[in-house]
Structure 1
Amino acid sequence: METPRPVVSRRPFCCTLKCFVKFLRLVVTVTSMIFFIVGQAPEPYIVITGFEVTVIFCFLVLYTCGLDKIMRSFFWPLLDVINSMVTALCMLIVSVLALIPETSTKTILGGVFGFLTVTCTIADCALMCQKLRFRPRQPYQKKSTNDIDDRE
């Protein structure tokens, strides 16, 4: 008689560290955008930051609703890592440009929060890179023949 297999339940995305980092990234980017808007920063700063907010929100919805498991035509972790790298580069440039000239205090705060966005983006990219590893984190352990027979 077969023994029933235990059902492996995964934690929902909203209860993971990746969700926390993405949500923190979203909040910091929105804060940076608000400071750019209130400080009347140049339009490219606001547009780039707003675009990043939109993309982060879309990835949050994608992972929270489980659409990445339904739409298998894309390799979502790779797209997320590429997005994180582009975001880090763009926000780093915007933040440096916001801090260089003599600008208002609110624009400077937008630049500082932009640097925090870059930090959160790098952390998010590091977490997503773990999914892209081809080799497992633990060393490979050869299973005995009894373990193989139990799974069948």
Structure 2
Amino acid sequence: MFAVLKTGGKQYKVQAGDVLRVEKLDAVAGDKIQFNEILMVDSTVGAPLVAGAAVQAEVIEQIKGPKTISYVKRRRKHSSQRTRGHRQQLTLLRVTDVLASGAEKSGVKAATGTADARRAAHEAPGAAKAAPEAAEKPKRARKAAEAKE
């Protein structure tokens, strides 16, 4: 049984036992995670997702991709040049199971990217510090209020 899953803005065709390199996920080595955005399972095509389908995987490790080097040279009068390197953060996974249905009852943690995890932590209740009302007002408004008093 195979499935097409979506993560990190990319789509992957997987089956049990496959090893994947995907964009960095919020998980550590040894964690079991579950992908819930499944576009296709065998001959079932979702519109846009297949309801109840999931792919379970085990995190092998967090790795860095190969180094890519970009070189920019401007010619003519400025004669400036710049070399810049980059290594993408990746997560290495081993697909353990493809579920055609029953994803909600599995009890496995959903796979989230690091950006999703930061966003969720930021929006969590109690994450924002309680600021006094005076600090929320702009400086001009505070001065105007003090001048009236």
- Taking structure 1 as the reference length, what is the TM-score of the superposition? 0.25
- In our comparison, the structure showing a higher alpha carbon Rg is 2
Higher helix share: 1
Q: Which has the higher contact order (CA 8 A, sep 6+)?
A: 1
Return the structure number with greater strand share. Answer: 2
